[in-house]
Chains A and B, each alone.
Chain A
Amino acid sequence: MDLSVTLHGQTHDLVLKNPVLTASGTFGCGLEFAPYGDLKSLGGIVVKGISLKPRDGNACPRIVETTGGMLNAVGLQNDGVEDFCIAKLPLLPWRETAVIVNIYASSVEEFAALAARLNGEEGVAALEVNVSCPNVSCGGVLFGQDPALAAAVTAAVRKAAPSKHVMVKLSPNVTDIAGIAKSVEGAGADSISCINTLLGMGLDLRSRRPILVNVVGGLSGPAIKPVALRCVWQTALAVRIPVVGVGGIVNSVDALEFILAGAHAVQVGTGNFMRPNCAFTLAANLPAVCAEYGVKSLEALRNSNFENAPVQGVCVDLSERS
């Protein structure tokens, strides 16, 4: 069975040898996981979010395990774009598998500068734009929570990186994810990945204090999978560009559920922490699981039109489609 996927973008296509990518922030720059599997066996590697200048991130504790997931407020610690391009990218197998760079900035101009720097890197197949970050010039409003701001960032990256596929990673912490999706599609995004983490918090009753120094953090892991499936479904219905599903995927069945919901590809995130070979195993098992569930092609699965045939006994009202 051919598991290759092409994310047909408005400007650039992104060809993946299979639909299994890693999620930004959970796979380092990729090299950390090389001992646990063949990086070339993945459909793509989405590297840890990168900013124009090095960032130290937040104080510790900045991660905490929760039931079925984890909270993180790492604060995008990274060594900056120059370090990535010089020290890390050359070591990645970018000729054999797609390297997608997640980018983070605090202004539209900074996003553009970062995108322009990466546009010239042959080893970078695509940019994933993290719009779940505060816009310092607009009082800290998250780019991804405002359709106009999200569109402005997308357009700036699109213009600054004319030779790259531009994927925009959406936040679930919005009222209408489909509206944001349409905005970034209108601004030139080639694809959309969703979801980023859900905002949450953890408290310690003994100390009467928050567990994270940052108080709030992003929730990820299996606990958020139902939210992610819903967001992928709503987004895929709203836009024509491909959608990449992220959120609580830890095995091949999870991955196929996201494709059923409308995703063209998936990203494995917190699962990489559960076992460092999680993404590799998932990719290797995908053909067998497709056979087990009678999946003839990923495209056919995606076009299953499942909303018209609810499973008996599942008490979810799917009639209120936006």
Chain B
Amino acid sequence: MSDVACCRLPVLGITPFNPVNGDTRFFVLRLPRPSEPAWWRWRPGQFVMLRPDSFGLELPWGRPFCICHVTDGCLICFFQVLGRGTRRIAAIKPGDMVSLWGPLGNGFAMEADTPTLLLAGGMGIAPFVGYVNVHPKIWNVTMLFGHREIQEYYPVNNINEFIPLDGFLEHGPEDLQLFVDTVHERMRLCAEQKGLVLACGPLPFLRTVRDFARALKVRTQLSLESVMACGVGACLGCVTKTDQTWPVPEKRGRPVQICRDGPVFWADQVVI
């Protein structure tokens, strides 16, 4: 981690994601790829802390952004405007300066020869863009995507380039049930194949996946989201409690930081 640094970078571009009817809540943010060596070893599921100069003294915290993808010259994040921080980030212009530190956290497991099922809910699609880009044997990977907005709001094309994406648009309870039933069925198949399940999305979705993982006994990782002030393990604002299977005995049943010990956890090792 010693080569992770905090740097100031100019924004390369910020683009509303396929706006429909002028709705601009979903954005792609492009930054220059930082030069620190850690960026050559980034892993899908890791995140960055990003704080534009325009926050001034008014908004002290940076914002945690999942890394969507990293190319040779570019760091790409995907975000939705939810509060005053993301609203202000959405208003920045190319050339505006941001402070950025990362890559942070641990990232998802990647086992080339293991059948791997990706489960995304809404914005939880973001880390899987990078995942399918860098997976060495992509034919072993499949994906389900549940979402409440139409697919044009999400970077589905970047996934579809590599694997077929089964999308589930949720209009009502019956749609949600269909998605949940499909998740269960695909996790059951994955369990039979001794596969790996990776999930990212809202907490209720992750709890459902966790319950299925327990019942089906399939190895499953969950990417947890939280409010964070620092992203480096100091503010203690993003903790989750560990379960009795946590690998460090003295930390069992105690809080661990999502930013430092996660954000990706084995489903049976944390209490959510």
Identify the A interface with B (CB < 8 A): 26-28, 32-36, 48, 54, 56-57, 60-65, 67-70, 72, 74, 77, 221-222, 250, 270-277
Q: Are B3 and A274 in touch, CB under 8 angstroms?
A: no
Give chain B nearest CB distance to A73 CB in angstroms: 10
Which of B4, B60, B226, B236 is in CB contact (< 8 Å) with A65? B60
Give chain A nearest CB distance to B53 CB in angstroms: 11
Q: Are A276 and B6 in touch, CB under 8 angstroms?
A: yes
Alpha-carbon distance A48/B234, docked complex (angstroms): 8
B80-137 contacts to A, CB under 8 A, are: 85, 99, 101
Q: Are B61 and A60 in touch, CB under 8 angstroms?
A: no
Q: Are A270 and B254 in touch, CB under 8 angstroms?
A: no
Q: Are B237 and A60 in touch, CB under 8 angstroms?
A: yes
Contacts of B234 in A (CB 8 A): 26-28, 32-33, 48, 272-273
Given contact pairs A35-B4, A56-B254, A274-B61, enumerate 18 new A-B contacts (beta carbons under 8 Å). Answer: A32-B233, A33-B234, A56-B255, A57-B255, A60-B226, A63-B227, A63-B229, A63-B237, A65-B60, A65-B85, A74-B237, A77-B255, A273-B60, A273-B62, A273-B235, A274-B60, A275-B51, A276-B6
Max count, chain A CB within 10 A of own CB: residue among B58, B59, B230: B230
Q: Are A72 and B230 in touch, CB under 8 angstroms?
A: no
Q: Are A70 and B232 in touch, CB under 8 angstroms?
A: no
Q: Are A221 and B235 in touch, CB under 8 angstroms?
A: no
Contacts of B215 in A (CB 8 A): none
Alpha-carbon distance A222/B57, docked complex (angstroms): 7
Known: A56-B254, A270-B60. A36 touches B6 (CB 8 A): yes
- Say whether B5 faces chain A, with CB atoms less than 8 Å apart: yes
Q: Are A65 and B260 in touch, CB under 8 angstroms?
A: no
- Say whether B2 faces chain A, with CB atoms less than 8 Å apart: yes
Q: Which residue of A has the minimal Cβ distance to B38?
A: A35
Q: Are A26 and B235 in touch, CB under 8 angstroms?
A: yes
Alpha-carbon distance A28/B229, docked complex (angstroms): 13
Q: Which residue of B has the minimal Cβ distance to A67?
A: B58
Give chain B nearest CB distance to A291 CB in angstroms: 23
Q: Are B254 and A272 in touch, CB under 8 angstroms?
A: no
Give chain B nearest CB distance to A18 CB in angstroms: 20
Which of A74, A274, A275, A277 is in CB contact (< 8 Å) with B236? A74
Which of B226, B227, B231, B236 is in CB contact (< 8 Å) with A77? B236
Alpha-carbon distance A61/B238, docked complex (angstroms): 8
Give chain B nearest CB distance to A241 CB in angstroms: 29
Alpha-carbon distance A273/B228, docked complex (angstroms): 9
Give chain A nearest CB distance to B267 CB in angstroms: 19
Contacts of A28 in B (CB 8 A): 232-234
Give chain A nearest CB distance to B184 CB in angstroms: 29
Contacts of A222 in B (CB 8 A): 57, 60
Q: Are A250 and B235 in touch, CB under 8 angstroms?
A: no
- Say whether B199 faces chain A, with CB atoms less than 8 Å apart: no
Selected A-B contacts with CB under 8 Å, 11 pairs: A27-B234, A60-B237, A61-B237, A65-B60, A68-B58, A72-B237, A272-B230, A272-B234, A273-B230, A274-B51, A275-B101
Q: Are B51 and A32 in touch, CB under 8 angstroms?
A: no
Alpha-carbon distance A61/B229, docked complex (angstroms): 12
Contacts of A276 in B (CB 8 A): 6, 101, 230-232
State the total of A-B contacts with C-beta under 8 angstroms. 100
Known: A63-B227, A275-B51. A35 touches B62 (CB 8 A): no
Contacts of B6 in A (CB 8 A): 36, 275-277
Instruction: Flag B52-75 by CB within 8 Å of A: 1 or 0 each.
Output: 000001111110000000000000
Q: Are B236 and A57 in touch, CB under 8 angstroms?
A: yes
Alpha-carbon distance A276/B99, docked complex (angstroms): 10
Instruction: List 6 tightest A-B contacts by C-beta distance, closest first.
Output: A63-B237, A28-B234, A273-B229, A222-B57, A273-B230, A35-B4
Q: Are A70 and B229 in touch, CB under 8 angstroms?
A: yes
Q: Are B237 and A35 in touch, CB under 8 angstroms?
A: no
Q: Are B61 and A70 in touch, CB under 8 angstroms?
A: yes
Alpha-carbon distance A62/B257, docked complex (angstroms): 13
- Say whether B239 faces chain A, with CB atoms less than 8 Å apart: yes
Max count, chain B CB within 10 A of own CB: residue among A60, A64, A272: A60
Q: Are A65 and B101 in touch, CB under 8 angstroms?
A: no
Alpha-carbon distance A221/B61, docked complex (angstroms): 10
Contacts of B229 in A (CB 8 A): 63, 65, 70, 273
- Say whether B20 faces chain A, with CB atoms less than 8 Å apart: no
Contacts of B255 in A (CB 8 A): 56-57, 77
Max count, chain A CB within 10 A of own CB: residue among B231, B234, B260: B234
Contacts of A32 in B (CB 8 A): 230, 232-234, 260
Contacts of A56 in B (CB 8 A): 241, 254-255
Alpha-carbon distance A57/B235, docked complex (angstroms): 12
Instruction: Flag B178-208 by CB within 8 Å of A: 1 or 0 each.
Output: 0000000000000000000000000000000
Contacts of A69 in B (CB 8 A): 60
